[in-house]
Amino acid sequence: MDHSLSELEFLRPSWRALQRVAAVFRRQSGARPRRTEVRRCTLKRAPHWLGVFVLAGVLAQGQSSHSATYDTERHVRLQGPVTRVDWVNPHAFFFIQVGDANWAVEFGEPLVLERQGWNRNSLRVGDVVSIEGNPARGQKKQAYATSVTRSGQRLFTARAEAPARRAEPTPRWPDGKPRLGPAPGKKGYWGSASASALVENVGTPIPMNRDGLLENLADIDRVAPLQPWAKAIYEFRQRNLLKDDPYNRCVPPGGPRQFLMPNGFQFVEQRELGRILILLGGGDRNWRVIYTDGRPQGQASEAVLSYYGNSVGRWDGDTLVVDSVGYNEGFWFTNGGLPHTEALHLVERFSRPNLNTLHYEVTVDDPRAYTRTWTGTWNIAWVPDQEIQEYFCEENAESTFVR
């Protein structure tokens, strides 16, 4: 955010209405406006255009990637009283007064923090805290806390994982097939992924941050068998610190990326209807359908192109095998910015070796972007006794900077 709080306060009265309009319009595949229309708007409605551009800028940065927002090469220590706590999805913030400045401190996703036992009352206005973290890029009074201490007691540690749980057997349906959701009478959802981005499963792990930003650009050739144009685009995105990520503009995280998001997801197996729904905790509460009624997969060229594709699934022993085609090119299908085309064909394999682990494997077949098919895998941890929470991307900018 390059706007000061005072600038954004000026926009507050019309913010909600604009958000609704933007959300509706964002989902349209609209053609570019005719030039005459643009010119009329430009000349006669210049004051409104000014507001539009400012607001669009706010919207476009409503959910910036961590790498583009924070400078992980720099560190900051701050101490002061808490003046406000915003316990909101997807990023929780508190504000502290440091001298004459009021700093906005991001300290993780509420859902993840709650997995660790924290809640919205763990930190209160007036508490004096010390934080260590990474400052925002530029001159903004904003930081991402890697630790928060109050009266010598460490409170939050960003990105800490929940403690390991005892392995329990896979819950199963009466016919013996694994349940992908909770056992009857229980709650839970799938939370943290063991990987931050999709990469090919060869050799040693590739160092990268939570957004899929490589620590070393020389590793690009190890990420996936990219065609030259795809490699160039991927490198361009990496060099730009992923700031052009469509997800930052609330575009759905289609493809394997849906299983990398911190807000988790849930399977709803509607066996009587021959389908499985995947409900996403992030990505504007998107949902995806996997048809398991035996229908054949259609041709990619005939599909209505979409963010989550056309998916058909079948069980191969204890593994759900899902075949998907029909993806549009409007999104990044993994953190980190690997490109894909409309020819993308995914084969996903889901297995649940025990209650707490979902093993995910995806084979990527996109001959227009890659030189051959390739496979990536990761595990996803079960979060027992909790539910995914409401999260609307558009709310983020308002909740953290405007309200």
Partner 1 sequence: MTRRLGCLLLGLSAFLMAQEGHPLTGTWSGDWGPSAAQRTHLTFVMTWDGKKVSGIINPGPNSMPIGDVSIDFSNWTVRIQATGIAAEGRIEDLASVHRSIKGTWKQGAVSGDFRLTRD
Q: Which chain residues interact with partner 1 by CB under 8 A?
A: 18, 21-22, 25-26, 28-33, 37-38, 41, 45, 48-49, 52-53, 55-57, 59-60, 227-229, 231-233, 236-237, 240, 244, 246, 249, 251, 329-332, 339-343, 367-369
Q: Of 26 and 359, which has the nearer Cβ to partner 1? A: 26
**Three-class secondary structure of residue 84 per DSSP:** strand
At closest approach, how far in Å is the CB of 285 from partner 1? 18
At closest approach, how far in Å is the CB of 52 from partner 1? 4
CB under 8 Å to 60, separation ≥6 — which residues?
248, 249
Q: Of 365 and 387, which has the nearer Cβ to partner 1? A: 365
The two three-digit tokens of residue 110, written as one number: 């509420």
At closest approach, how far in Å is the CB of 228 from partner 1? 6
Q: CA-CA distance, 25 to 35, in Å (whole number)? A: 19
Q: Of 78 and 397, which has the nearer Cβ to partner 1? A: 397
The DSSP secondary structure of 125-168, one letter per residue, reads TT-EEEEEEEEBSTT-SEEEEEEEEETTEE---TTPPPPP----
C-alpha separations of 379 from 121, 163, 192, 197, 358 in Å: 32, 16, 8, 12, 6
Q: Of 14 and 116, which has the nearer Cβ to partner 1? A: 14
Q: CA-CA distance, 94 to 22, in Å (whole number)? A: 27
Q: Is the dihedral of CA 116, 396, 255, 210 positive or negative?
A: negative
At closest approach, how far in Å is the CB of 319 from partner 1? 30
Q: Of 191 and 255, which has the nearer Cβ to partner 1? A: 255
Q: CA-CA distance, 98 to 101, in Å (whole number)? A: 5
At closest approach, how far in Å is the CB of 345 from partner 1? 13
At closest approach, how far in Å is the CB of 25 from partner 1? 5
Q: Of 33 and 81, which has the nearer Cβ to partner 1? A: 33
